[in-house]
Structure 1
Amino acid sequence: AVESYLLSRYQLGPVAAPVASPSGGLFTGSATVTLKCDMPGADIFYTTDGTEPTTASIPYTHSIVVTSTGTLKAKAFKDGFVESVTTTAAFTSTADFTPVNVTGLQLWWRADAGVPSGFGDFWQDQSGQGNHGWQTYGAAVPRLVPNALNGRPAMRFDGTDAIAFTNRSTTVRTVFWVIKEDPAAPPAYRVVLGDSGTSDFASEYYGQLWRSCCTNANIVNGQTWLNGTPIDGLSTSRPRSMSVLSLVTTGNVTAGNFGWSPGYTPWQGDLAELVLYDRPLSPTERRSVEEYLLSKYQIGFVAAPVATPSGGMFTGSATVSLVSRTPGTEIFYTTNGADPTATSTLYTGPIAITSTTTLKAKAFVNGVEKSATTTAGFTSDTDFTPRDVTGLQLWWRADAGVPTGFGDSWQDQSGQENHGLQTYGAAVPRLIPNAFNGLPAIRFDGGDATGFTTRLTTTKTVFWVMKEDPAAPPAYRVLLGDSSTSDFASEYYGQLWRSCCTSSSILGGTTRINGQVVDGIQTVRPRTMSVLSLVTAGNVNASNFGYSPGYSPWQGDLAELVLYDTALSIENRKKVEDYLRIKYWDITAAPGNHQVTLSWTTRPAAGTGPVTYDVERGTTSGSGYVVVASGLSGTTFTNTGLDDQTTYYYRVVAVDQGNRFSSREVVGTTLRVGTGTGLLAEYFNDPSLSAPVVINRTDPVVDFNWGGGSPDANIGADNFSARWTGQVQATTTGDFVFATNSDDGVRLWVDGQQLIDNWTDHGDTLNSSAPVHLEAGQKYDLRLEWYERGSAALVRLSWSYPDQALQVIPQTQLYPVAP
């Protein structure tokens, strides 16, 4: 206040920024806010919708009453003076979800509240614990930067700054940051939380989040998440674009400040929010806080709706609520297994489920599909399920009980509470929507596993709905894992069982794939989604899906896993097997040139007679079907002579002893082959994309392996970089997964959203994005950045989508500039 008085009296600098009192924070009911400018004769204008104030905004004449969550922004103006910087004060109603709603909160700093001076000499804690931030040394005080991200401020640290906690915390278990490192920051050892006596949060010289030598083991062995996706902090770099970074530790760690520890370089970059808890949050709690922050700062894609409950068994009826934490979204849903569109049912309130149903939901913005699909399968207890057969010990299903969308928590449906869990972030598998028959699966990437809550030592019958990734290299794997046995050992070249090592109780039992008895010593692991069943000759052991010591982790999909402690009778085994085969009776539509090829799995027959199939087609979803083929005994049909601009809707009807059983509806479009010529490529003679462009050309595809060389004689063999920009055109409608192979760092943006961020030195590494929904024929902005530090130089840009395995994105789908 005294500074502002002197600056205004002597007319030094711009108009003083208005001071909001209170300076943001939580309120109950309403909050009364006053604005003051210390420069005489200055006029204050403000907004309450988060937009920047101008002299056409609301003039401040009296106190402002805030009654709902919102962002107040104010500026002061005076003739002959430069207008003031923006003052931002965000007010949050206690009726809305915030980190305070999750118990164990110890500290909550937010740059849009509790920074009255506009600098980090004092940062008011919003947790209610009084753990304010402070800095008494003037040369180490960071400053508040307005509009750092999507209209919200951040605290900027210049490489010499830090802010201390009022109370040093020795019991930190969960942390959330909204943070970025300055892209211009030089390599340095830094900490993302500091302490005068420890370096628990030590970070690597070349940017990796954690140091294998020095970061506290409770952090390294815990879960690290970046923008809602689990990562390996030992190989993933500190984010250089504003991101939500989350951490759940395996034990207590210590922090006394943000920015500095002895022997480490102070932080250089922005911090918009910092949230600490003294307990490990559950997966659903972690996701709630994470999505609150992602939504608030508009980072990443629109959040998929959250279904509560997330599927499962019910008696009588179930009431389901849907919520998307992204503001401004509408949720559309279906209850017939079809993918939701903007013409599906709009969610306006809780949904009553009274019969076995697959609920699907998507979030839309202005009628445009923006989120991935949420699937929640609800099963009435009046229908047959694996629970109707005695001895059930575990039942995981990807369409129920996966509340976070990842395999860190997989709720057991058997009633035995044998839930799946994974506390190590780098080994967390992810949920893939519409993996098979419109139902999701958990995808294991070759480094993942999900543990049982209770190790099972009396397993005698197992059912899997699974497939190995067709791109998985040969490896010794296990179909069920255990910490001390390899009962379910599988061969290097893919055979289900190993004569030398698989338990004799399995080798002496009966193995089936899709109902047919197979010799597991000769038959390979299925590479298309299949129902695999096993009845053993005795007890076997299992404590996880995915890994046993000495074996490579599973690489592929798991949609369902069912275990019994009894050897099921032929009748009961067939009941469970047929239940799974019918549930996953799949139809797919593969696009082609002026044609669509339909494929489906064999549906189990009710009796001894053959099942035949009719194919129906319509041009409107859900109605108007006409038969285009009938009496088929095979499981494929190609519909030719189709219009490239028409969307077709198909279903297959199984005819069994006069009864007709319809499949789910699938969308069929012809392949939208583009006319692209490639992407605009810019090559630089440094690894930071900052030197003058050496080469400017159109690359037809991004699929380069220069070995120890470079793209051109004018570019050195090491320490160079490249950027590819343009558009990518979707060949079909569906969820696409983008992937890069790189040596070294790589970043990818599609449609303005960052999908891949591994800006670190590394060898040939495959990075895959979360699924992204694209529409057939639509073009989307694309930017790929890559650098080569030393030794081998390699970069490849690929994608996969339903019915298309991972492939280099073809030239026809890449365009160098927007049309």
Structure 2
Amino acid sequence: MGHLATFADNVGGVIISELMAINRTTLADEDGEFPDWIELQNTTESPVNLLGYGLSDDPDNLFKWNFPEIELAHGEYLLVFASGKNRRSREMPLSSKSEVNNIPANIPGLKLWFDALDADTLTLDEQNRVVRWQSKVAQPDMPPLGQPGPIDPGKLDGLLLWLDAADKETLETENGRVTLWKDKSDRGNDAFQAERNRQPALEELDNNLSAIVMDGQDDVFHFNKINNIRTVFWVLAESKVASAAYRPLLGDMKAFHFARSSDRALFHGGANTYANHGQSWINGERIDPSRTYPPVERLGLVTTITSEPSSASNLASDRFLPGRNWQGQIAEVLIYNRPLDTATRRAIENHLVEKWSIASDDLPHVGRSATQSNTYRQPKLAREPLTGLPILRFDGLDDHLLFQRQSFVRTVFVVAREDAHATKSHRAMLGDLKQSQLNRGGDRLIYYPKGHFGRYQSLVRINGQKVDPTATQLPESIFLLTSSASFNIQTDLIGSDRLVSDRNWHGDIGEILIYDRQLNSHEIDKIEAWLMAKWGLPASMLHTNFKLRSGNDIVILTSPLGQRIDSLPVLDCPPDATVGVMAESAGHFIFGQPTPGAANRSKPYLGCLGSPRFAKPAGLYSQPIDLEINPPDSFSELRFTLNGSLPSPEAERYAEAIHLSEPTVVRVRAFRTGFLPGPVAT
């Protein structure tokens, strides 16, 4: 059983805050190997230059390994691998200089830029969970929310149709199906459907709101034909399972002024599609409707001013042609007979944004954002352990962020690090609610061999080096991934592929650049060089000339003048556990959940337990046996299972020999209050 020892108090402000003597799967170095590591922290209020400091595992040779000139800022952590490789040079990340920090924006086609180093772009809660990650791409034509103030749509002249699912008195249902949706415009243009199998469903939303749900097969509402449509507002969300087809938001028996595109874009580019040749906005941002998808899966706001007076008589079918029915939610529709000016349009948008809570998830004050309103699915702001730089950490379970869909992406840059414990499933850094062009391959492959990057022409590079993405695994260490495609990529997710349960990213993401065109080689080289300098890639870490010996070692930090600054024992710990200190507690502890590059906030233990010992060896016995098990010490209690599962503290307690009359898998583990549970014996 490992136990703690007491050493000299820290006297220099720089401490040995954590160390790991058996690194099996926790943290890879720049070579993709898993050596032991030591973590230092500067606890003083001022920077400390480590030049001349000694690090050693030998009390008789305090300068066994010397630090190069590295400045450690107040509160900063520094990792040193105890690998025996003896490397004293490190490529430090460069902070963005003002004269060059707009290199990505100076290259045409930049649509989204997420940068974890820019603290002003992150909205966090009190637990450092990321609520919003704002893009740095400027949107100068997008007025802030609240300017002008919201107004009641019914008070504007020219209102031809107002369908509002939030007003339940306007909805008539029968057996859960909506038969009538009353028009609130006083024009009598009620939307109706008499046929039972074509009536949409009604879905209850949060905040006592509701939405109509069209099935994409034959659900449709009819209303009196309207011939002078100029401005339309929709609050809607297309289903993520809706197939690519001409699924319109408004339709007519003859005209197709609001025709959808077959590639899922908002409107078709035909001459008679007056909606496409006018102006359109999604969530208040001006868009090209022939190159932009409608909001998917969560409600968004679509606004259109047509180029000419347009006609419609149904919601939502294109001339009743098969396969051309809207599939998804429709919460509100407003139609006016005049092009609304900018101030009036924004006032209506602000009203709808506030009413349907679109602003909290989709509509930022400036620029575009990736957001997550569910606390349990928010990634956390953390520090990348090798570089020490801020990143977003995704848990691999359900953490993800959503942003407005980009439908014509051609070049993407991502700075990331996959967690060493990530399972070998198709875990995506970027993805889409509906499409899978960025689908990862299994076994850590960059892209799926039978996917788009395996079938179509593309360029993929890791840290500036060209690779075959369908045969190359992601590095174990932090990396820059560049993907340039000859095909259009759709994406609206960070950290997930279509929200499939085992395809969520497990690891860190530091920066994302998304362009709507294939950059040329000079442009790619320029951005890669800038990102690699900014993030210190490829990582170059410090390595001592000695390795740690679990249970029989001590690590000592010494000042240039020979004064022993701090020390930490290397206790007998199980693999991937650490010894470290806590800011508000005296002494040393053992941690079952390491935190390289960050404060030790996981549960501390006073020591770790050993493995139980079976009195009989494993094997086949010709007759029943009574199996005795000995604990690793006199203070531990044993918990066991007979079904092959891992013993927990709630498993059956071992009190006497276990009688076994047939072949059985016995698993047992030692537990003790305040101590890290021992390894499982089987």
Same fold (TM over 0.5): no
Question: Greater share of strand residues, 1 or 2?
Answer: 1
Task: Give the TM-score normalised by structure 1.
Answer: 0.31
* Higher RCO (CA-CA < 8 Å; seq separation 6+): 2
